[in-house]
């Protein structure tokens, strides 16, 4: 048999693409289902879960490229004629299922890849292509939306595969024809068939089904950003000499050798500071942080859990410090950081610049999560690093 298709059967290249795709898909789907159910209570369990998800993602990227090559090859090939052209309804359903399957083989892995690029942490893709994609920002909103697309396209793919398998079995055991054989060995004994015109109606039907599936997904909320594992504590307003106008309170951790960055969206600061003091004590700061407002890539929910921040029982953290002026714009905040009722002395250098009644602060700090009982079950630093980098940047004005 030749490499190219004929009106009668499929060539060797098309058959190879078909069975390679089938092998990949029938591997990555159960891998994802198994990975979802795996626990992650210890470093070893987390490493196993991450490995399984990395396998799923890597196979998904492989499917994307294989599907593209398969479609490009198919565009230049003759499409074999159906063995029963008089069975119009059955032929229409089969071609619609094929369009659904072809589209899903591109859209499902592509949306999964974009979701991976939009978030950070947990399980890397093993392809040497990096973990980001051009034009895809690190955004929880983008990740939530394309995550919903991935869910919808994945479900359409599974249904399409089941219909495809059911049709093949029906041809093999009910019709007893050569439909399955011509995808296995080319069915060289099959009599020649006449070429027929293939309608665009099945493609339109597939588009309608995709639109309906997306509508159902929107109706059940798969595109919305999932609610946090715990409610965010409501912080009381504070009276402060200096009012924070804008700022970020970010953290970065290392998981499986990759940096995972996040930030707290809700925090208050009571700042008393005299910029006229050039050397020595110059003020105080009292910061309260709503732990539940943290977003930390794909591991946000895990970070909120009882083994980590335990935001349910310890909804806030607090930093109280005395400010000491230095030289050349450098200052020290010397005080205590309390997380999960564990209070640790902290000395945080920061840089401050003032213009009139406006002050800009930049600070960096490195903490050890173990000092606060965070992630005690993760004793292997290769799974989750002990160090946590804190980055603070804010602009405040004096009332």
pLDDT of 188: 81
Domains of the chain, by residue range, sit at: 12-219, 242-398
Positive or negative CA dihedral for 241, 349, 263, 131?
A: positive
Calculate helix-pair angle for 140-170, 88-118, nearest 10 degrees: 150
Residue 143's pLDDT band (cuts 50, 70, 90) = very high
* pLDDT single digits (tens) 230-263: 789 899 989 899 999 999 999 999 998 889 999 9
pLDDT of 228: 60
| C-alpha to C-alpha distance for 58 and 125, rounded to whole angstroms | 5
Positive or negative CA dihedral for 25, 26, 31, 34?
A: positive
| C-alpha to C-alpha distance for 69 and 24, rounded to whole angstroms | 14
Report how far Cα 32 is from the mean position of its chain's Cα atoms. 14
Residue 59's pLDDT band (cuts 50, 70, 90) = very high
Give me 251's structure tokens: 């953290």
Answer yes or no: is pLDDT of 229 > 60: no
* pLDDT single digits (tens) 321-366: 999 987 776 899 999 999 999 999 999 999 988 888 899 999 999 9
Tell me how far apart the terminal alpha carbons of the chain are, to the nearest angstrom.
Answer: 84
| C-alpha to C-alpha distance for 136 and 226, rounded to whole angstroms | 20
Query: Which single residue is written with the structure tokens 């919808």?
Result: 152
| C-alpha to C-alpha distance for 227 and 220, rounded to whole angstroms | 14
Residue 283's pLDDT band (cuts 50, 70, 90) = very high
pLDDT of 41: 85
Average pLDDT on 57-72 reads 96
Average pLDDT on 190-201 reads 80
Give me 110's structure tokens: 């592509």
pLDDT of 242: 94
Average pLDDT on 197-208 reads 90
Q: Are 144 and 150 in contact (CB under 8 A)?
A: no
Average pLDDT on 146-158 reads 96
pLDDT of 66: 97
Average pLDDT, the chain: 92
Average pLDDT on 89-94 reads 91
Burial of 245 (C-beta count, 10 Å sphere; 0-12/13-18/19+):
exposed
Burial of 369 (C-beta count, 10 Å sphere; 0-12/13-18/19+):
buried
pTM of the predicted structure, to 2 decimals: 0.87
pLDDT of 165: 95
* Percentage of the chain exceeding pLDDT 90: 74
Answer yes or no: is pLDDT of 226 > 90: no
Residue 186's pLDDT band (cuts 50, 70, 90) = confident
Instruction: Report the topology of domain 242-398.
Output: Lipocalin (2.40.128)
pLDDT of 57: 97
């Amino acid at each position: 048999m030749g490499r190219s298709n004929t009106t009668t059967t499929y060539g060797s290249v098309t058959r190879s693409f078909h069975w390679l795709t089938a092998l990949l898909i029938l591997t990555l789907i159960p891998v994802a289902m198994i990975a979802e159910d795996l626990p992650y209570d210890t470093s070893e369990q987390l490493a196993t879960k991450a490995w399984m998800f990395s396998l799923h993602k890597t196979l998904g990227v492989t499917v994307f490229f294989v599907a593209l090559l398969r479609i490009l090859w198919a565009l230049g090939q003759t499409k074999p004629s159906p063995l029963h052209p008089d069975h119009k309804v059955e032929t229409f359903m089969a071609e619609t299922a094929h369009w659904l399957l072809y589209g899903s083989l591109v859209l499902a892995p592509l949306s999964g890849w974009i979701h991976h690029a939009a978030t950070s942490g947990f399980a890397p893709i093993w392809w040497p292509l990096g973990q980001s994609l051009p034009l895809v920002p690190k955004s929880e909103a983008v990740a939530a939306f394309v995550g919903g697309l991935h869910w919808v396209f994945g479900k359409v793919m599974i249904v399409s595969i089941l219909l495809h398998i059911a049709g093949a079995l029906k041809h093999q055991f009910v019709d007893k024809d050569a439909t399955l054989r011509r995808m296995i060995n080319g069915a060289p004994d099959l009599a020649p068939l006449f070429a027929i015109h293939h309608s665009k109606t099945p493609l339109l039907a597939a588009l309608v089904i995709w639109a309906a599936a997306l509508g159902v997904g929107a109706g059940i909320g798969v595109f919305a950003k999932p609610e946090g594992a715990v409610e965010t504590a409501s912080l009381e307003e504070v009276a402060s000499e200096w009012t924070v106008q804008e700022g970020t309170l970010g953290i970065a951790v290392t998981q499986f050798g990759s940096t995972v960055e996040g930030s707290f969206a809700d925090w208050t600061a009571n700042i008393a500071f005299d910029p006229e003091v050039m050397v020595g004590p110059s003020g105080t700061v009292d910061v309260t942080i709503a732990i539940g407002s943290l977003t930390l890539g794909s591991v946000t929910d895990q970070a909120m859990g009882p083994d980590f921040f335990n935001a349910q029982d310890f909804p806030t953290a607090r930093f109280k410090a005395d400010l000491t002026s230095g030289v050349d714009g450098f200052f020290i905040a010397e005080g205590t950081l309390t997380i999960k009722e564990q209070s640790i002395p902290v000395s945080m250098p920061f840089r401050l610049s003032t213009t009139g009644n406006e002050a800009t602060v930049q600070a960096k700090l490195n903490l050890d999560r173990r000092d606060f009982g965070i992630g005690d079950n993760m004793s292997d630093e290769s799974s989750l690093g002990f160090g946590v980098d804190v980055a603070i940047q804010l602009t405040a004005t004096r009332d």
